[in-house]
Structure 1
Amino acid sequence: MSSLMVRVRASRAQVHQELREREEVEKELGLVKGWIQDTRGLLLSPTADLDSLLQELEVINRRQSIERITELQQTKYQDLQAGLPSELSMQLAEVALALGSAEDQVIQDVKEDFNTRLQDIEAKLKIIALKLEDKSTDLEEAKEETKALCEECESCCRSLVELGVAVQEFGEQNPLLCKQLGDAVAKLTEVQRHMTQQVQDRANRLKKAERQFEEYQGMKGFILVWTEKAEALVHGNINWNSALQLQEQIRAHQALLRECRGLHGDLEAMGDREECLGEVLQTEGWGQQVKHLSRRTEELQQNAKTRLQSLQDAAKDMLRLESEVKTLHAAVDQIQVTLASPDLNRLSLREQLTQRQRLLVEMEGFKQQVAAVQQCQSALRLPEEVVTSLPTCRTAQTLQQEASQLQHTTIQQCNILQVEGRLYITNTSLHIYFYSTKCEIQKKSLHVISV
């Protein structure tokens, strides 16, 4: 009886122990079932992200704990030489199946999320590559675009680093899939590095292009200023009035031509700069601008040379004409001063006549001087419509008239003096005759008286 009581107590204790263990197993199974329910809800949530999924994936080791529970229960009942209770066996099987299904779904969603993120990064890198092929027409705009591309590359780099860390964490649960995803991340990382290098190279070229662009704009600005100045000079009216004014215009044309000596080199340099800038900027039409500037500067330079030659020829002719007119003017003034001198009028008639006759001989030189002036005037390499309105030509015409008038007046004065001289001689002769006759009569009278 005592032995029976001991066995009953032992059996009773064993039952209580089994119940407690069964309760713990059911409690553990309940927790796993609750986790499975939460996981399914998370998988169905449209806001689920990779971090949440990976966090849930870490809890999948619950499956391993369930497998250990199942193994322990089976071992225990085998030791008791009894089969695993069907109710417990069914619960363990249901939980294991649900865990496997949840794990597969989580892995699938994680894989899809990885692939989506990889595709997003790949799409961003393709957009960056396309933007690198585009070229802006404005340097500042190109610099801003390149800066934005650098930031996008850095953003892709950060995303790839984060993705690589997540893949490593995921690899602890699924090594095979981790290998595939890791290879994709590594390949995309290499593309990102290559793209970053291209963007950096473009940024460096833009930095170098900034100086070249400034040089290009500086040369272009200088040429445009020169062409504007040349346009105004070669299309402006020429002042033909005097050799001095012609010399001033000659110096202006010479200065313009000196300034254009380096234009050909600048235009060649602009072509070189354009070629370099074409690597990072859209320079379509720049070449045509350079060609147009080259043709225009060549035309203006040739026009300036032609006008300079005309001005030099005209200045040479004008200087010769002015010299001859000055000589004629001095000769006419000298004659006028001599004829108007009070000393001349105080001379005797004979001396006045002699002086004016000498002046007439000197006036014969007027003909040669007038002829020289007319020759210079006819040889002027100036537009015909300009010659007649030149002050020097009008002065020459006035001097010719004055010279002719002086000759005419002097001839008249000489004629008058000659007439007055003859009258004086006649009167003097008569006076002498009458005086001689008177003396003879007086002599004869004295003789008569004496007789």
Structure 2
Amino acid sequence: MYLQLKARTGKTRVQQELSDREGVERGLSLVKSWIQDSRELLLNPTSDLDILTQELELITHRQNVDKLAEQQQSKYLDLYTILPSEISMQLAEVSLALGSIEDQRDIQKTRVIKEEFNSRIHDVSEKLKTVSTSLKEKATDIDQAKDERLCDELDGCGRNLAELEAAVQDFGRRNPLIARQLADAIAKLREIHHHTLRLAEYNTTWLKKADAHLDEYNEMFEFIVKWTDRARSLVKANIIWNSSSHLQEQIRMYQSVLRESRELHGDLEAMHEKVEILSETLQVEAMGQQVSELSRHTEELELSIRSRLHSLQDAEKDMERFESEVKALHVSLEQVQATLTSPELARLSLKEQLTQRQRLLVDMESFKQQVDAVQECQSALRVPEEVVTSLSICRTALNLQQEASQLQHTAIQQCNILQVGRAVVAPDGNKNTCLPATKHA
């Protein structure tokens, strides 16, 4: 009976041992399967969530294996025997594998953190490159050059660098070697950021000066445009070929515009200088072309105005001489007319009247010279031929010529009448008899 009981007890223990070992193997098998999956996951990580989940599962499996080893150690210690080698080997293998997974996880985690740092460093670097390129590029206008978004981006880069430096410093407590590499990259970025800040400050200072230069440029441009508008209107307007005084008024107008044009040359040179200064950071091709067009247009207008002024001055000289000759002829005619119609002349004797009229006829010989001078001046007028006939001074000259001819004719008739009258009166001896003025008309 004793032997049978002992045999049954031994069999129960064996079965229990086998059952326990199967439980240990199942537990270790689950861990081994997880280890295999984890190795594949570490080789092909998909997301940060996988790594976090893996870390939690690793801790759980590590705790389970440690608990299982502790239970087995305690169990065999109670049996006054050592842990079976096959169980000991399996526990050791699993623990070693878990340690390897943990190391790989730490490496992977470090790599991910490093990649994240590198990505953030790359982002800041690209932003700084973009800002630097924008600052160095020539803007199309002053408002574009003043784009405040660049300053905001620079400030953002500065904040990102400060955050990176703090994060790398904290990371360096666990990974000093990698942290030093990251710190070197950040230090280079900090230098680039500082250089870009100086460039932005220089641009800001320059833009303040550029604003003043541009204001001066626009003022000069506006002045020249106004002048060209006036000059163009003057050139397009028809010259009024009239009296010398009217021509003088037009001459003064042209001279005034030409005097103003002297300032334009200095302004155009100054505008060229402004374009050169602004070309440092602005695209000034359009401005340069604008100045060139203004220079060309101004020169053309100035030449046209000078040509017109020369024509006006020539016409004014001719017209002044012409008017002088016409006036002289008119004065002579008025004097003769006044003498011929004078009451005093009518009260003289026939002989004296005849003598006076004969003297006037001699004086009228100068009319021919005066009329010739008038005609010569009219022919020499440097005005368009189609305008001459419409000039009031020319009509006046023609009327005066006709009047001179008529006066001469009238004077001759009067002399003839007086001679006949004198011959009739002479036989009676009434040499001093005066004819009524009405009969001498």
Indicate the SS of the match to 2:285: coil
Residue aligning to 1:224: 225
Residue aligning to 1:343: 344
d(CA) in 2 for partners of 1:259, 1:249: 16
Confirm whether residue 129 of structure 1 aligns to residue 137 of structure 2: no
Q: Where does structure 1 lack aligned partners over 5 or more consecutive residues?
A: 1-39, 430-451
Do the aligned partners of residues 206 and 161 (structure 1) sit closer, same or farther apart at CA in structure 2, a change above 3 Å counting?
same
One-letter amino acid of the structure 2 residue matched with residue 406 of structure 1: L
d(CA) in 2 for partners of 1:111, 1:288: 54
Do the aligned partners of residues 47 and 381 (structure 1) sit closer, same or farther apart at CA in structure 2, a change above 3 Å counting?
farther
Deviation, 1:326, is 0.8
Confirm whether residue 115 of structure 1 aligns to residue 136 of structure 2: no
d(CA) in 1 for partners of 2:150, 2:209: 18
One-letter amino acid of the structure 1 residue matched with residue 421 of structure 2: E
d(CA) in 2 for partners of 1:306, 1:91: 109
Confirm whether residue 156 of structure 1 aligns to residue 181 of structure 2: no
One-letter amino acid of the structure 1 residue matched with residue 121 of structure 2: L
Do the aligned partners of residues 46 and 211 (structure 1) sit closer, same or farther apart at CA in structure 2, a change above 3 Å counting?
farther
One-letter amino acid of the structure 2 residue matched with residue 272 of structure 1: E
Indicate the SS of the match to 1:285: helix
d(CA) in 2 for partners of 1:236, 1:91: 107
Indicate the SS of the match to 1:135: coil
Q: Show the 5 A alignment for 1:278-293.
A: 278-293=279-294
Residue aligning to 1:28: none
Q: Show the 5 A alignment for 1:63-78.
A: none
d(CA) in 2 for partners of 1:288, 1:140: 20
Residue aligning to 2:427: 426
Deviation, 1:359, is 2.2
Q: Show the 5 A alignment for 1:15-30.
A: none
Residue aligning to 1:301: 302
Residue aligning to 1:252: 253
When normalised by structure 1's length, the TM-score is 0.72
Q: Where does structure 2 lack aligned partners over 5 or more consecutive residues?
A: 1-40, 431-441
Structure 1 ranges of 4+ moved more than 6 A:
44-48, 82-95
Say if 2:165 and 2:183, in contact at 8 Å, map to a contact too.
yes
d(CA) in 2 for partners of 1:47, 1:321: 107
Say if 2:136 and 2:281, in contact at 8 Å, map to a contact too.
no
Indicate the SS of the match to 2:383: coil
How many residue pairs were aligned?
Answer: 372
Confirm whether residue 276 of structure 1 aligns to residue 277 of structure 2: yes
One-letter amino acid of the structure 1 residue matched with residue 142 of structure 2: L
Residue aligning to 1:239: 240
Deviation, 1:45, is 9.8
Residue aligning to 2:434: none
Deviation, 1:159, is 0.3
d(CA) in 2 for partners of 1:83, 1:183: 55
Q: Deviations over 1:217-272 (max 9, x none)?
A: 22222222222222222332112211101111111121122111132222222222
Q: Show the 5 A alignment for 1:32-431.
A: 99-144=102-147, 147-428=148-429
Deviation, 1:83, is 8.3
d(CA) in 1 for partners of 2:46, 2:226: 70
Indicate the SS of the match to 1:131: helix
d(CA) in 2 for partners of 1:45, 1:152: 32
One-letter amino acid of the structure 1 residue matched with residue 125 of structure 2: E
Say if 1:150 and 1:200, in contact at 8 Å, map to a contact too.
no
Deviation, 1:427, is 4.6
Deviation, 1:190, is 1.4
One-letter amino acid of the structure 2 residue matched with residue 143 of structure 1: K
d(CA) in 1 for partners of 2:144, 2:286: 18
Do the aligned partners of residues 164 and 261 (structure 1) sit closer, same or farther apart at CA in structure 2, a change above 3 Å counting?
same
Deviation, 1:133, is 4.2
Q: Percent identity?
A: 52
Q: Deviations over 1:65-104 (max 9, x none)?
A: x9xx99xx9xxx9xx9x98996998997687566545433
Deviation, 1:175, is 0.5
Do the aligned partners of residues 262 and 244 (structure 1) sit closer, same or farther apart at CA in structure 2, a change above 3 Å counting?
same
d(CA) in 2 for partners of 1:351, 1:180: 136
d(CA) in 1 for partners of 2:363, 2:143: 83
Larger mean CA deviation between 109-118 and 156-165 belongs to 109-118
d(CA) in 2 for partners of 1:213, 1:150: 23
One-letter amino acid of the structure 2 residue matched with residue 153 of structure 1: L
When normalised by structure 2's length, the TM-score is 0.74
Larger mean CA deviation between 120-129 and 317-326 belongs to 120-129
